[in-house]
Structure 1
Amino acid sequence: MRLLRQLVYDLKKQNTDIGLKLVNVSETLEHKLVEFDKKIAERDNEILLLKNSVSELQHRLNFSEQENMRSELEIFGVPEENNENVSHVVMLTARKIGVQLVDSEIDEAFRAGARRSNAVERPRSIILRLTRRSKRSDILKAAKNRRPLTSEDIVKGTSSKVFINERLTKTNKELFRNARIRAQAHGFRFCWIRNGTIYVRKAEKQPPIPIRSSADLDDNVGPPGAPASDTVTA
C-alpha cells in the first residue's frame, strides 16, 4: 500500500509538472501568435501603402502622358490607301468640316500601329499632332457641329463614317470605354471628353461629373453589370 501511494503521488506530481509545462507552452504559443499577427498586420499595411504608391505613380504618369497629348487628335474611319500622304488626308478632312489647315500647322501626321492585313475593312486611325492647341480646339468644335462626318471627298472608295476625337492614353481609352458602357447601363445621358478628362452627366442641366479612375465610376455612376438603358450621347 505504501508503494502504491508513492506511485500515485509520483503520477500526480508528473501530471502537475506536465500541466505546468503545457501552460507554459500554451502561453509561449499564444505570445508568438500575437507577435505573428502583429507582423502580418504590419506587412498588410506595408503592402497597402505600396499599392497606393504604385497607384499614385501610375495616375501621375498617365496624367503627364495625357498632358503631352494636349495638341493631338485621333481620326477614326478614314480608309487607307497605298502610298498615301497622311498630312494631305488630314488637310482634306479639316477642309471638309470647314477648317483651313496648312502644312506648317501640322507637326506630325501618321497612321497608328502596323498596317493590318484587312486595312480596307479596318483602317488604322490617324494620329495628328498640331503646332497650336487652339487649332486643335477649332477642329474638334467644327467636327462636332459637322456630324455625321464621312470619308466622301476625302479619299476614294466606299464612303465610311469618320470620327475626330481628342487623342487619349491607353489607360484613358479603356476608362472612357468603360465609362460609356457604365453610363448607358445606369441611365446617364451624356459621356464625353474635354481636355483629356472624361465627364458624365445624368441629364440636361445637371452638373458634369469628372471620371478619373474606375473608383470614380463605382462611386459616381454605379457598379458594372447593370442592364443597359437609354443611349449615351458623347
Structure 2
Amino acid sequence: MECNTCTNKIGSARLAVQCSQCHKHYHCKCVDLTTTDSELINSGNKLFKCYGCGSSSKDGDFTLSDVMKKLNELITKNVDMCVSIELCHTRIQENNKLLKDQDARINSCLERIDSLSQQNTHLQKENVELKRQINEQNQYSRKNSLEIFGVPEIKDENVIRTVQVIAQSLGVNLDKQRIDAAHRLKSNIRKPNEPRGIIIKFISRLDKDDFLKARKVKRDFNTSHLSHYFTQLNVHPAKAIYINESLTYENKQLLNKCREFKKNKNVKYLWSRNGQIFMRMSDNSQVFKISSIESLRDVH
C-alpha cells in the first residue's frame, strides 16, 4: 500500500488515512494531519477527503460543492442587497424631488411674504399720511373755535350769554351774531367735579384771535371777574379760567406729550397757534414746530 502523495509505502496503518471519496491512502504527514486526526478519521468519527476530492483544510469538513453552495447563497444575498440598494436609490430620488418641490413652494411663499410685507409697509405709510391729512382737515375746521375751561355752570344756562359775559370781562365786545355756535363739552371723567368746558365757534377768525389775545393780556383772569354778571355763581375761592385753541384729539395728545417733554427737558416755551404746536428751549434759541412725537428729537 503506497501513499498517493509521496508514492512511498505506508508502513503503519495508524499513521495513514484513507480518502472517504476516492479511497486512496495518504501518509498523515503528507496531508498535514496529526496523530489525533488520524485516530478520529480511522475510528469513523471524522471524514477525510484528499485535496483532489475537494478538501480545503485539514479537518476536511467542506467540499467544493459546499463552497459553491455558500457562494451561491452569497450571490443571492448580494442580488437581494443590490435590489434593496436600488430601491433606496429610488426612494432617495423621490425624496430629492419632493425636497425640490418643497423648496420651490417655500421660495414662492417667501417671495409672496416679501411682497406682502412691502405692500404692508406701503399701506402703513399711506395710512399714516391719510391720518395726517384727515387730522389737518379736522384741525382746519376748528380754525375759528376756542375752548374755555374753569367757568362754573349755572342752572338753565344760556351758553352764548355766558360767552358774551366772558368776552365783556376780557374787554371784548362780542355780539351773538358773531358766534356761530357755543355749547358745553362732555364731562371730564378724570375730573367729574369740575365744570364742563365750553367750545365756541366764531363766524370770523378775527373775532377768535381777538378773544384769545384779550385772555393773554389779562393773565390773572379767573371766576371772580364774572361775579358781578352772575350773582348766583360761587366764585370763592377764585379759580383761573383758561382759554385755548380748539385742538383735535390727536393734537391734544401730542400737546400732552409736549408738556411732559417740556417738564423733563426744562423747555422754557410751549404754545399753540392756528392749530400748530411750537416749542423753544430758551429766549434766544430756535423755534421748533412739533408735528409729531418724532419731532421732539430735534428740539435742542
TM tier relative to shorter chain: 0.7 to 0.9
Which of the residues 276, 297, 300 maps onto 1:197? 276
Q: 1:36 is paired with a residue of what secondary structure? A: helix
- Specify the alignment match of 2:120 in structure 1: 47
| Partner deviation per Cα, 1:165-194 (whole Å, 9 max, x = no partner) | 001111211111122112322332222101
Distance, in Å, in 1 between the alignment partners of 2:181 and 2:224 is 23
- Specify the alignment match of 2:134 in structure 1: 61
Which of the residues 87, 96, 102 maps onto 1:14? 87
Q: Could you tell me which amino acid in structure 2 is paired with residue 167 of structure 1?
A: S
- 2:269–2:282 contact (8 Å) kept in structure 1: yes
Change (3 A) 1:187 1:26: farther
- Specify the alignment match of 1:3 in structure 2: 76
- 1:183–1:221 contact (8 Å) kept in structure 2: no
RMSD: 2.2
User: 1:1-234 residue pairs with structure 2 within 5 A?
Assistant: 1-113=74-186, 121-154=193-226, 155=230, 156-158=233-235, 159-217=238-296, 219-220=297-298
Tell me by how many angstroms 1:36 deviates. 0.6
- Specify the alignment match of 2:66 in structure 1: none
Q: 1:149 is paired with a residue of what secondary structure? A: coil
- 2:182–2:199 contact (8 Å) kept in structure 1: yes
Tell me by how many angstroms 1:12 deviates. 1.8
- 2:259–2:270 contact (8 Å) kept in structure 1: yes
Tell me by how many angstroms 1:88 deviates. 2.0
Distance, in Å, in 1 between the alignment partners of 2:137 and 2:130 is 10
Q: Could you tell me which amino acid in structure 1 is paired with residue 167 of structure 2?
A: A
- Specify the alignment match of 1:232 in structure 2: none
- 1:74–1:165 contact (8 Å) kept in structure 2: yes
Larger relative contact order (Cα-Cα within 8 Å, sequence gap ≥ 6): 1
Q: Could you tell me which amino acid in structure 1 is paired with residue 219 of structure 2?
A: R
Distance, in Å, in 2 between the alignment partners of 1:7 and 1:201 is 90
Q: Could you tell me which amino acid in structure 1 is paired with residue 234 of structure 2?
A: G
Change (3 A) 1:16 1:115: closer
Would you identify which runs of 4 or more consecutive aligned residues in structure 1 move more than 4 Å?
Answer: none
Which structure's CA Rg is the greater one? 2
Q: 1:43 is paired with a residue of what secondary structure? A: helix
Farther-moved stretch of structure 1 (53-62 vs 161-170): 53-62
Distance, in Å, in 2 between the alignment partners of 1:69 and 1:115 is 20
Q: Could you tell me which amino acid in structure 2 is paired with residue 157 of structure 1?
A: N
Distance, in Å, in 2 between the alignment partners of 1:131 and 1:205 is 37
TM-score using structure 1 length? 0.85
Farther-moved stretch of structure 1 (44-53 vs 66-75): 44-53
TM-score using structure 2 length? 0.67
Tell me by how many angstroms 1:114 deviates. 6.6
Distance, in Å, in 1 between the alignment partners of 2:291 and 2:83 is 76
Distance, in Å, in 1 between the alignment partners of 2:260 and 2:286 is 20
| Partner deviation per Cα, 1:20-39 (whole Å, 9 max, x = no partner) | 22222222212211111111
Tell me by how many angstroms 1:115 deviates. 10
Distance, in Å, in 2 between the alignment partners of 1:95 and 1:220 is 42
